[in-house]
Amino acid sequence: MKLPDLPPEPPRALRLRLDRDALAENWRVLDRLSGGARAGAAVKADAYGLGTAEAVPVLQAAGARDFFVAHWCEAAAVLAHVPAGQVSVLHGPLTAQDAAYAKATGVKPVINSLRQARLWIDAGGGPCDLMVDTGMNRLGLPMDQLGDPLIGALEIDVLLSHLASADEDSALNEVQLARFTSVCTQVPSRRRSLANSAGISLGGRYAFDLTRPGLALYGGIPCPALNGQIRQVGYPQAAILQTRTIQPGDTVGYNAIFTAEREMRVGVASLGYADGFLRCWGNEGFLLHKGVRLPLLGKISMDMVVVDLEAAPDVHEGDWADVPYDLPQAAAITGLSQYELLTVIGRRFARI
């Protein structure tokens, strides 16, 4: 059934401001810290929740030329902004249809197994990347299969591995570095890549030819070495839908877990767990208005949260409240990882 022509969508009650200058500068910082290597960009999961359509052009303009997504369904959004040969799909071809899609679009599959190598060769082959497992025990070709003729038949652009513990002082980092260095002597490739955001801070020995920052591009700080160098990128805001005055003894929200001890002026903000503002914010959480804290009251609902307006008498319906999204601080409040905080951001936010 064809829908009638609709008027323009009204302004949304949720918005996510993307600081493009901060995103570009974060890439430049990480590229500089990569030394002789060039920084790429992990843009999987909708650019870690901030929006592929918004983030990829900024990263490309800053200088990024290698973009990594996880799923085949993520490739088209990146291809709208960059040439096909600059896009790699980390999960590789699971089916012949995946391999055919890569051939048709020019996107590079990341080969993770002998089966995937066979799928790619049977599809006609061509430039691809190869992921080798050096200790993560996730996706990646086992090192004892490097000598298989299928691997020798691949046209490998980037030879990759992934660090499991780059964000901490772990002996596994040196183990993986030694293993990957050995892999590089066994497998011909145009370029080599090991370091993620935290791996960049481990120094030049880990950089090789290409680094693959993700979290730090978007304002995350995975290790102390990046403190003071990475800027916040995403700034979520929610509109105040309603203000009201409640009386002593009144309760707020589901299960009535908050009871007012005095007359209070409260606000209902257009924000809930369906938008990625999960209930783990509840114990110590707050919103902000002009830098003033608005403590959360009661349980967070699917689409709404109630805040105490005592400290902000100037807040009225239609005003905006800021969600405190400095990622290390938000992680401390919620117990979520910085990765989770980014990737749970909902699609109801207007990206501005």
**Catalytic positions:** 44, 254
Chain centroid, CA 20 distance in Å: 15
Report the helix count and the strand count for the chain, using DSSP H and E: 11, 19
With b meaning 16 or more CB within 10 Å and e meaning fewer, what string describes 74-95? bbebbbebbeeebbbbbbbbee
Q: Measured between alpha carbons, how far is 265 from 294 in angstroms, rounded to an integer?
A: 11
Q: Measured between alpha carbons, how far is 88 from 239 in angstroms, rounded to an integer?
A: 38
Write out the two tokens for 251: 């309760």
Chain centroid, CA 324 distance in Å: 17
Return the closest-CA partner of residue 189 out of 132, 130, 148, 229: 130
Chain centroid, CA 200 distance in Å: 17
Q: Measured between alpha carbons, how far is 159 from 265 in angstroms, rounded to an integer?
A: 59
Q: Which residues lie below 8 Å from residue 291, measured CB to CB, with a gap of 6+? A: none
Write out the two tokens for 174: 């040196």
User: Tokens 């599959």, residue?
Assistant: 109
Q: Which residues lie below 8 Å from residue 203, measured CB to CB, with a gap of 6+? A: none
Strand pairing category for 41-42 and 67-69 = parallel
- What Rg, from alpha-carbon coordinates, does the chain have? 23
Q: How many CB atoms lie within 10 A of CB 3?
A: 5
